[in-house]
Amino acid sequence: MAGAGPYHWLERQLGGRSVAAAVLFTVFALIVLIKPTVFLTSAIVDWGQGVAAQIRDGQLAIPPAPESVRSWPVVGSPIYEFWSLADSNLQAALLKAREPLQNFGLWLLHSAATAGAVVLQFALSVVVAGVLLANSDGSKGLVDRFAVRLAPESGRHMRAL
């Protein structure tokens, strides 16, 4: 619906060639979807690889924990102790936090896979919308018949909404 105006403008610019307009419109929509996703994914992967390399090479600098952290209610002392361990011996801190870090890594991997699946589903829906756009005259008739079958008296009116 939101793309109807730009699509019809493009169709007029192409001399009424609806299939060409639908293909161009779909390609543009896919680029708008995929390009930022690729840039974001690439930036996150590069950042993760950089942090992993710094940890592996022992170059990741953890600043000392401020004394004020120790005075936080309930969690201050354990956070301060772990932070101090990470400041003095990062490898030991990582080994101590191995299980939570593995759980976080699995959660992150699952979240990334889910996000990837959502992007693929959205891309597929854009392609399906492009196919329907290319065949919009036939699609209109199909929707009319379906609407009338669902609601015989008000089906066409509902489709127009």
**pLDDT in tens for each of the 161 residues of the chain?**
677 788 889 889 999 888 899 899 999 999 998 999 999 999 999 999 998 898 888 888 889 999 999 999 999 999 999 999 999 988 899 999 999 999 999 999 999 999 999 999 999 999 998 888 887 767 677 777 888 888 887 776 776 66
- Quote the tokens at residue 20: 């060409």
Quick check: 14 and 110 in contact, CB under 8 A?
Answer: no
Quick check: 102 and 108 in contact, CB under 8 A?
Answer: no
3-state helix, strand, coil in the chain (%, to 5): 80, 0, 20
- The structure tokens 């307009």 sit at 21
Spatial distance between the Cα atoms of 90 and 119, rounded to a whole number of angstroms? 36
Amino acid identity, residue 32? V
Quick check: 129 and 26 in contact, CB under 8 A?
Answer: yes
Instruction: From residue 51, give the alpha-carbon distance in Å to each of 54, 59, 137.
Output: 5, 9, 54
Q: What is the model's pTM? A: 0.63
